[in-house]
Structure formats: C-alpha cells, structure tokens
Chains A and B, each alone.
Chain A
Amino acid sequence: GAVVSQHPSRVICKSGTSVKIECRSLDFQATTMFWYRQFPKKSLMLMATSNEGSKATYEQGVEKDKFLINHASLTLSTLTVTSAHPEDSSFYICSAPPLGQGSYEQYFGPGTRLTVT
C-alpha cells in the first residue's frame, strides 16, 4: 500500500525557535496534502491543506504566519512552526490522497511529536 513518511518523528526545541516537519509520499504523487494537529486524547484538527505549486489553504483560526506550509513537489510538503511556544507542543500528522483517488482514500503519516520547552 501507499506510504507516507514524516520526519522527524520526535523533536524538542526551545521556545522562540522554528521547527520544520517534512511529509513525504514515498510511492505515489499527491497534489494535495493535509496537515492535522492532535492534542492529547483529542481528535485530529485539520490545520491546512497544502497544494502543490500554490498557496496553502488554512482552516479558520489557524495562523498562517505561524504555521508555514510549502508544497514544493508532488511528493513533499513541509510544515514550519515559527517562533515556537510551549502551547505549540502537539502531535502533528499529515495525510495525502494519491492522485486520481479523490477523497475516498487518504494515507496518513506516522506523526511528529513536537515538544517546545
């Protein structure tokens, strides 16, 4: 089956620094990727839709200047948490629907645990 990877799996950073998280589709192409945030014992909250070759679409209430998204190629999307603060600590998950499969299939990455100290 299709595989989505995320790197790093865990990251600890100091408050005020920026952190980049990569999401890669390893054996398929995706013009769209999704970024979710999951708080402890909570559901996944869609943060933004990453679009290859164009600007990301952010959900209401998500700060686009804080969570920078770049979809540089058909297999890579990055999420950069800028000037991170402890409240940004969370589990970040990306997903991607393979080209041509529309919205009835998505593959999820294993997640990235971000801890801001």
Chain B
Amino acid sequence: AQSVTQLGSHVSVSEGALVLLRCNYSSSVPPYLFWYVQYPNQGLQLLLKYTSAATLVKGINGFEAEFKKSETSFHLTKPSAHMSDAAEYFCAVGGFTGNQFYFGTGTSLTVIP
C-alpha cells in the first residue's frame, strides 16, 4: 500500500528563517515524489518533483527537496522564508499503475514578520 505522511499540520517560521516541511512515504515500488503548494481557494501548483534522477531536486521559488531512500523521506526546504510562502503544502507520491497520486494531509505554513 502507498501512503504519505506529513509531520506537522502547522508550521510557523519567522521571515528569513529556514523552512523545513517533512514528508515520509511508504511505497511498495520506487516512487515518484512531488511537492505542491496551494494558496487559498486555488488549485495546486507544482513546486518540484523527484522522478528517479538526481536525489536533490530544485524547484520554483527557491524550494528544494532531497530524496532519501534509506529514510523514505522527501523533506522540503527553503533557506529563507518569505511572507509570500505562507500557504498549504502537500506532498504526493505517484508512479503507480493507474496513474493515481496519493497525497499527504498537508502542512499549513505561516510566516511571521
């Protein structure tokens, strides 16, 4: 069975501080992993994806994530938080027959001025 766990439903950081959003996955096959951002009343925007190439993936808006197979993790980081980063972030796993994605429960990021 496939699943995604996002530790911490709410994360608060100060503007300029490091952002770390955690994602662990469970998969019976090598997965593809994704991070999406969602702003209020909007759809999902792809931040970055891992599809079995480089384990350190760089995305948009200064975000990056590292795939660690030994830890079954794909944590999202950004060196310096900006006010505009405040949003809901979802980790997802794909790569399965049927093309389905499985989403984590989301992490709401608050950036404190």
Chain A interfacial positions (CB closer than 8 Å to B): 6, 32, 34, 41-44, 46, 49, 57, 91, 93, 95, 97, 102-106, 108-111, 113
Query: In whole angstroms, what is the CA distance A116 to B51 when docked?
Result: 40
Q: Please give 10 more A-B residue pairs, beta carbons under 8 A apart, in addition to A41-B108, A42-B106, A103-B101.
A: A43-B90, A43-B103, A46-B100, A49-B99, A95-B44, A103-B94, A104-B32, A104-B51, A108-B36, A110-B42
Q: List 26 A-B contacts (CB under 8 A).
A: A32-B99, A34-B99, A34-B101, A41-B88, A41-B108, A42-B105, A43-B103, A43-B105, A43-B106, A44-B103, A46-B102, A49-B98, A49-B99, A57-B98, A91-B41, A95-B101, A103-B94, A103-B95, A104-B32, A104-B51, A108-B36, A108-B43, A108-B45, A110-B43, A111-B41, A111-B43
Q: Closest 3 interchain pairs by CB?
A: A110-B43, A103-B99, A108-B44
Chain B contact residues: helix, strand, loop or mixed: loop
Query: In whole angstroms, what is the CA distance A104 to B32 when docked?
Result: 6
